[in-house]
């Protein structure tokens, strides 16, 4: 029987997805849960499995085409009696599965394809036909496959896991590819030392977003100097116990985040967005934290950040950062932000003015924390100083409001109780 496959809904706020690559073509026979295509939303790429076993008879969407959720993208011939449209299961690299269910889920997966029999793998672990075919063509042994830490359901090894392993294996000392300015790239040039690198889907989306924000908002940047003595004292007193108790490092980001949420509640216009000729003021804080990944800059969002204390913010920041770098974020977790923070000080930068993350109207920048000579009570003293910057949309936030807001963030940071226990 013919069965329609529709574009899956990958999150509450996701209404469409882009076909990055079809891994199968009409006439191919597929097993249930076999990866058949790659889909991308703004900043999250996902491998998509087939909902049923059968033969692909038609692909209705082209690579690079953006398709609304629920629209038919392919048809397969199956033995199933039910011919109603089938939504593809949610991406296996993103789905969260309770620990109690993981063992049972893996045990119910289909056997590997006949091309690489189960005996050859010497393992009860499931590998999709795509993974097996890549492993065979690249000469990856069963022992090597067994050693891979999968990012799929129940530790399942995905196509991405294998390809990353192959890249590392081929290059003992990976060389970072430089970002080549567009002006330096000459199409078709050879032998002149110019390397031409095509943009992947995520990089294209980031580029489009950056151009959009510059064309949309008149950017203004200001900065202030913050004495972080009290915050440093809190961190030094609590970091060992915090690490033992929470299993994560205590950084300065939770303090910056909490101070920002307090200031945003006091000055909600900075926590707004412009829609046409109206202003939408948000009386909740969905805090975006910029994270640098191999694929580019991603801004996962802590929803209702104003309801979390320092410890809760630390947990949320760590969780989102780890999953952003391992490409395990859900689409809803990179949308809906009302205000963002960018920590360029992580790389030693003192001052910077990041671009506004549309449709927000402001973004806070964190510089590196350094000990500096400052004037205290008409004397020279050494203090841990951090420069904070605020980039804002001058259509809505003027210099007065921007300055008052940034100074309020500074006041919150400088007035923490140095004896605070976490």
Please write down the long-range contacts of 197-202, taking CB distance under 8 Å and 24 or more positions apart. 200/295, 201/18, 201/20, 201/40, 201/45, 202/40, 202/43, 202/45, 202/295, 202/296
| Mean of per-residue pLDDT scores for the chain | 82
Q: What is the CATH number of the domain that holds 362?
A: 3.30.559.10
Whether 227 and 361 share a structural domain: yes
Whether 242 and 354 share a structural domain: yes
For the segment 314-365, what is each residue's pLDDT rounded down to a tens digit? 999 999 999 888 878 887 888 899 999 999 998 899 999 999 999 999 999 9
DSSP helix/strand/coil, 5: strand
Residue 125: per-residue pLDDT:
62
Whether 32 and 169 share a structural domain: no
Lookup result for tokens 């430089």: 178
* Among candidate residues 38, 62, 90, the one where a domain is terminated: 90
> Domain of 282?
205-414
Whether 155 and 32 share a structural domain: no
pLDDT of 94 higher than 50: no
Looking at the domain assignment, is residue 333 inside a domain?
Answer: yes
Whether 52 and 136 share a structural domain: no
Q: What is the DSSP letter of 180?
A: P
Whether 81 and 100 share a structural domain: no
Residue 193: per-residue pLDDT:
84
Question: Residue 365 and residue 358: Cα distance in Å, rounded?
Answer: 16
The DSSP annotation for 45-84 comes to EEEEE-SS-EEEEEE-S-TT-EEETT-EEEEEE-S-S--S
For the segment 37-83, what is each residue's pLDDT rounded down to a tens digit? 888 876 566 778 888 889 999 999 998 888 888 899 999 998 765 54
Beta bridge partners, 341, equal 289, 364
Compute the radius of gyration of the chain from its Cα atoms: 25
Among all residues, which ones are annotated catalytic? 394, 398
Number of Cβ atoms within 10 Å of the Cβ of 388: 24
Whether 315 and 366 share a structural domain: yes
Looking at the domain assignment, is residue 381 inside a domain?
Answer: yes
Whether 227 and 372 share a structural domain: yes
C-alpha to C-alpha distances, 38 to 7, 20, 46, 64, 85, nearest whole angstrom: 11, 5, 6, 11, 20
Lookup result for tokens 């949308």: 335
For the segment 389-419, what is each residue's pLDDT rounded down to a tens digit? 999 999 999 999 999 999 999 999 999 999 9
Cα-to-chain-centroid distance, residue 233: 32
**pTM score, two decimals?**
0.64
Whether 328 and 398 share a structural domain: yes
pLDDT grade, residue 308 (50/70/90)?
A: very high
Looking at the domain assignment, is residue 302 inside a domain?
Answer: yes
DSSP helix/strand/coil, 368: coil
- Decide which of 331 and 383 is more confident: 383
* Among candidate residues 33, 55, 90, the one where a domain is terminated: 90
pLDDT grade, residue 11 (50/70/90)?
A: low
Q: What is the CATH number of the domain that holds 30?
A: 2.40.50.100
Total domains in the chain come to: 3
pLDDT of 186 higher than 60: no
Residue 170: per-residue pLDDT:
65
């Amino acid at each position: 029987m013919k069965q329609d496959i529709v574009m899956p809904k990958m999150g509450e706020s996701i209404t469409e997805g882009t076909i990055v690559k079809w891994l199968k073509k009409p006439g191919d026979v597929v097993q249930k849960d076999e990866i058949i295509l790659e889909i991308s939303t703004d900043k999250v790429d996902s491998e998509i499995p087939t909902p049923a076993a059968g033969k692909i008879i038609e692909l209705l969407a082209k690579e690079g085409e953006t398709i609304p959720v629920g629209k038919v993208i392919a048809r397969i011939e199956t033995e199933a009696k039910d011919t109603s449209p089938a939504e593809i299961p949610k991406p296996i690299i993103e789905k969260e599965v309770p620990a109690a269910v993981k063992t049972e889920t893996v045990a119910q997966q289909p056997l590997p394809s006949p091309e690489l029999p189960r005996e050859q793998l010497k393992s009860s672990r499931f590998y999709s036909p795509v993974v097996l075919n890549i492993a065979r063509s690249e000469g990856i042994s069963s022992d090597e496959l067994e050693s891979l830490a999968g990012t799929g359901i129940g530790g399942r090894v995905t196509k991405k896991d294998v390809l990353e392993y192959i890249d590392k294996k081929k290059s003992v000392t990976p060389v970072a590819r430089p970002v080549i300015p567009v002006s330096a790239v000459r199409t078709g040039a050879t032998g002149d030392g110019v390397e031409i690198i095509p943009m992947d889907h995520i990089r294209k989306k980031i580029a489009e977003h950056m151009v959009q924000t510059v064309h949309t908002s008149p950017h203004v940047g200001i900065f202030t100097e913050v004495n972080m003595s009290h915050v440093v004292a809190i961190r030094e007193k609590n970091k060992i116990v915090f690490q033992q108790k929470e299993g994560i490092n205590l950084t300065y980001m939770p303090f910056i985040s909490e101070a920002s949420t307090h200031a945003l509640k006091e000055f909600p216009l900075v926590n707004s967005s412009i829609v046409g000729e109206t202003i939408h003021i948000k009386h909740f804080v969905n805090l975006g934290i910029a994270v640098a990944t191999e694929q580019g800059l991603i801004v996962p969002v802590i929803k209702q950040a104003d309801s979390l204390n320092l410890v809760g913010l630390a947990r949320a920041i760590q969780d989102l950062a780890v999953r952003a770098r391992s490409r395990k974020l859900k689409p809803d977790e990179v949308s809906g932000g009302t205000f963002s923070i960018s920590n360029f000080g992580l790389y030693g930068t003192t001052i910077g003015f990041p671009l506004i993350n549309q449709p927000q109207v402001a973004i806070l920048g964190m510089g590196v924390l350094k000990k500096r000579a400052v004037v205290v009570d008409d004397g020279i003293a050494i203090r841990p100083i951090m420069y904070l910057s605020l980039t804002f949309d001058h259509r809505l936030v003027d210099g007065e409001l921007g300055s008052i807001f940034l100074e309020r963030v500074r006041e919150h940071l400088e007035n923490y109780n140095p004896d605070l226990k976490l």
